[in-house]
Structure 1
């Protein structure tokens, strides 16, 4: 399975993650989920039982909905993310050795054989 980087092409952090992965020699398939939004079934496969680490806390919608003080179920998080994909923390690297949420150069380096 080829690793997939779920990202937003206009996001600087996402572009930095992509560059770091290339620097490390990790080839990835790019999935710009703003150009091709995620379906609920895709989110179901990505999100852990506790979706909190996957929520984009900097999103205006996150603040507007008062999600900081709420504990969302996985189903609730998915429904909200399908409505507004800015609620999904980015980038997300799905690699055969594990999933990395957010830009984490050290975690990326550990994926190099």
Structure 2
């Protein structure tokens, strides 16, 4: 299975993550989920039972909905993320050895060892 980097191409952090992966020699399939939004079924497979770590806390929608003080079920999070992909923290690297949420150069390096 080829690793997949879920990202937004206009996001500087996502572009930095992509560059770091290339620097490490890790070939990934890039999925820009703003050009091709994630569907509920994809999110079902991607999100853990507790979706809190996957929420983009810097999203205006996150603040608007007052999600900081709420505990969302996986189903609620999926429903909201289908409506607004900005609620999904980015980038997300899905690798056979594990999933890395957000840009974490050290975690990326551990995946190639």
Mapped partners of 1:27, 1:92: distance in 2: 15
Structure 1 segments of 4 or more deviating over 3 A?
A: none
User: How many aligned residue pairs are there?
Assistant: 113
* Displacement after TM superposition at 1:33 (Å): 0.1
- Structure 2's unaligned 5+ residue stretches are none
Partner secondary structure for residue 111 of structure 2: coil
- Structure 1's unaligned 5+ residue stretches are none
- Equivalent residue for 2:65? 65
- Equivalent residue for 1:37? 37
RMSD: 0.3
Mapped partners of 2:13, 2:4: distance in 1: 16
TM-score (norm 1): 0.99
TM-score (norm 2): 0.99
Partner secondary structure for residue 111 of structure 1: helix
